[in-house]
Amino acid sequence: MGLNIISRRHFLGRTAGLAAGTFAGPNLLLKGQNAAGKKLRLAVIGANGKGQSDTQGVTLDHTIVALVDVDKKRLDEAAKKREKHHLDSGKEAPNAPKLYQDFRKMFDEMANEIDGVIVSTPDHTHYVAAMHAIKHGKHVCVQKPLCNYIAEVRDLHRAAKEAKLTTQMGNQGRTMEGQRLAKEWIEQGAIGTLKEIRLWTNRPIWPQGPLVKKAAECPAELDWDLWLSSEASEPYFEFEIPAGVNGKRGNSVHPFNWRGWWQFGSGALGDMGCHIMDATFSILGQIIPEKIDATSSPISDTCAPVWSDLVYHMPAGKHGALKVSWNDGSKDGKPNKPEISPHMTSELAKKAFEKASSGMMFIGTEGTVFEGEAYCGSPVIYNEERYTQVRIDTKAGKIKKTETRSVMPNNPQGEWAHHVVNGGLPSSNFDYSCPLTEFVLLGNLAVRAQQSVQWDKQGMKVSNAEAPNKYVSRPAYREGWKP
Ligand SMILES: NC(=O)c1ccc[n+]([C@@H]2O[C@H](COP(=O)([O-])OP(=O)(O)OC[C@H]3O[C@@H](n4cnc5c(N)ncnc54)[C@H](O)[C@@H]3O)[C@@H](O)[C@H]2O)c1
């Protein structure tokens, strides 16, 4: 397929259809309808990259009826990889899905043949793709962060709720056992009183910092105009990588390197925050900060910084008022990490901290819950004697399992599909993951504003300054793209 220039008439035709409510997707009522063994008909938008492993999460139990990718070569490759996954799993080759470069064309042609949609595109397309799916009455599973603007997150939440759809964000940590254990330990006094939380990541591992666009030839297999989707049309570009910026992944935004551009991604915080801040958000009772302080390396209007340091001021809730700090990137060639917890004094603890390129420390009066990965999949407690006691108490039933367990740990796509069929709520359904994404994106608001921001949650606006409010909503949508 060549470059797809979509006409204004085409846009208006679609938009008029949306407004008139003419989307005729099946309004699934699977719950109770002989749900056992029910196979969903699923479409994946953004079929390669993360979309490929997201497809693997559901393809053996359900039917993939369509794969969509704006890059023809990557689309064909995604279809082949899916087939290989079936064969490698000892299954027969699966049905051949319909292949599209434009998800709107897919909805036009086969909306009636789709029950649910997985969205695994770059961040800037999550909102438009998921909203198209929702308006067609499709259940949705959307990669993290749900959107890269807070106003879009709220809009998506409202629309999915009104349509009574089963929703999920792809933050796999939320489905894991470890995150539940950490919450139960802390709530049941394993580390005394929770006083402070320190979070960090070595990201960005892609170019981020003051990048400058330069004209380049678009690869023949890529439909650049569709890749831009709701963003204003502009010629394909690559960028210069200045000294001090990690350039290992090359200098084009597609694939993967869109992350550092505010237009398309959400920087290191947006990329990793929905993982690393997830356990914090859950443990603190899903509350939103009152104020966020930010300092960072120089930013431009277009790109996120090489490093940033944030402090989230959390009001009292399940725990007393406390600070959550976030450090990302590297400073002077060294990982930008917080200070180690005072409970982590043993050699073992120091080594674990040193090794952790991303992680979290929940620091209490009597001990620290430490996780040296992004997902909080296998937390431990320092010091070691306290951890031994916690394990004894857990075995003896003194520390109880109070959190609901996932039916499919580490497979948010499979878990979502299970709940579409059987009812019940996926671990990271939008009632949870929309506020979590807002929590994460508030840090970006402070970074972009280069100042402390106070957040008026009711009013969805920064209350101590006017200028940062321009970062709450996407500045503009190309005509015809906003459903
Ligand atoms: N949960 C996780 O652990 C995890 C890990 C990696 C990425 N992600 C998320 O997955 C998403 C994709 O990230 P990635 O690293 O795979 O990016 P990527 O750029 O490597 O891959 C995205 C794919 O989507 C395609 N695409 C782009 N625009 C499209 C459009 N409008 N319609 C259809 N296809 C389109 C691209 O051609 C590409 O094949 C991001 O939101 C990212 O944050 C999540």
Judged against a pLDDT cut of 50, whether residue 278 lies above it is answered with yes
How far away, in angstroms, is 366 Cα from ligand 1 center?
Answer: 42
The residue whose CA is least distant from atom 7 of ligand 1 is 50
Classify residue 105 by burial, with Cβ atoms within 10 Å: 0-12, 13-18, 19+: middle
Q: How far apart, in whole angstroms, are the C-alpha atoms of residue 57 and residue 39?
A: 14
Q: How far apart, in whole angstroms, are the C-alpha atoms of residue 145 and residue 163?
A: 21
Q: Give residue 35's pLDDT.
A: 61
Q: Give residue 228's pLDDT.
A: 98
In the block, residue with structure tokens 């792809």? 170
Residue range 234-261: average pLDDT? 93
How far away, in angstroms, is 127 Cα from ligand 1 center?
Answer: 13
Q: How far apart, in whole angstroms, are the C-alpha atoms of residue 419 and residue 403?
A: 17
Which letter does DSSP use for residue 97 in this model? Answer: P
DSSP string of 184-197? HHHHTTTTSSEEEE
What angle (nearest 5°) sits at the alpha carbon of residue 202, between those of residues 371 and 383? 25
| 444 within 8 A of 270, measured Cβ to Cβ | yes
Identify residue 439 by its one-letter amino acid code: F
CA dihedral sign of residues 47, 50, 54, 56: positive
pLDDT in tens, 319-337: 999 999 999 999 988 999 9
Ligand 1 atom nearest to CA at 125: 31
Say what the pTM is: 0.94
Q: How far apart, in whole angstroms, are the C-alpha atoms of residue 100 and residue 395?
A: 52
Cα Rg, the chain, nearest whole Å = 22
Tokens of 374: 């992004």
Classify residue 452 by burial, with Cβ atoms within 10 Å: 0-12, 13-18, 19+: middle
How far away, in angstroms, is 424 Cα from ligand 1 center?
Answer: 28
Q: Give residue 27's pLDDT.
A: 38
Which residues contact residue 382 at a Cβ distance below 8 angstroms, ignoring those fewer than 6 apart? 341, 343, 344, 346, 349, 367, 368, 370
In the block, residue with structure tokens 């450090």? 327
Q: Give residue 34's pLDDT.
A: 53
Helix (H) or strand (E) segment spanning residue 448: helix 430-449
Q: Are strands 291-296 and 167-169 parallel, antiparallel or unpaired?
A: unpaired
Task: Identify the weakest region by mean pLDDT among 15-24, 86-95, 397-406, 431-440.
Answer: 15-24
Q: Are strands 139-142 and 167-169 parallel, antiparallel or unpaired?
A: parallel
The residue whose CA is least distant from atom 28 of ligand 1 is 227
The residue whose CA is least distant from atom 25 of ligand 1 is 46
Q: Does domain 8-172 fall into CATH 3.40.50.720? A: yes
How far away, in angstroms, is 271 Cα from ligand 1 center?
Answer: 11
> Domain spans of the chain?
8-172
Tokens of 60: 């053996």
Ligand 1 atom nearest to CA at 254: 19
Ligand 1 atom nearest to CA at 50: 16
How far away, in angstroms, is 142 Cα from ligand 1 center?
Answer: 10
- The pLDDT confidence band at residue 9, using thresholds 50, 70 and 90, is very low
Judged against a pLDDT cut of 80, whether residue 2 lies above it is answered with no
Ligand 1 atom nearest to CA at 74: 39
Total residue count of the chain as it appears in this document: 483
- The pLDDT confidence band at residue 468, using thresholds 50, 70 and 90, is very high
- The pLDDT confidence band at residue 299, using thresholds 50, 70 and 90, is confident
- The pLDDT confidence band at residue 206, using thresholds 50, 70 and 90, is very high
Q: How far apart, in whole angstroms, are the C-alpha atoms of residue 100 and residue 286?
A: 38
| Nearest of 159, 171, 117, 120 to residue 140 by alpha carbon | 117
Which residues approach ligand 1 with their CB closer than 6 A? 45-46, 48-51, 68-71, 74, 103, 120-123, 125, 143-144, 170-172, 226-227, 229, 254-256, 271
Please, what is the end-to-end C-alpha distance for the chain in angstroms?
A: 25
Q: Where are the beta strands (DSSP E) in 74-181?
A: 98-100, 116-119, 139-142, 167-169
Q: Which of 1, 121, 201, 433 to mutate to test the pocket of ligand 1 (most atoms within 8 A of CB)?
A: 121
Whole-number average pLDDT of the chain: 92
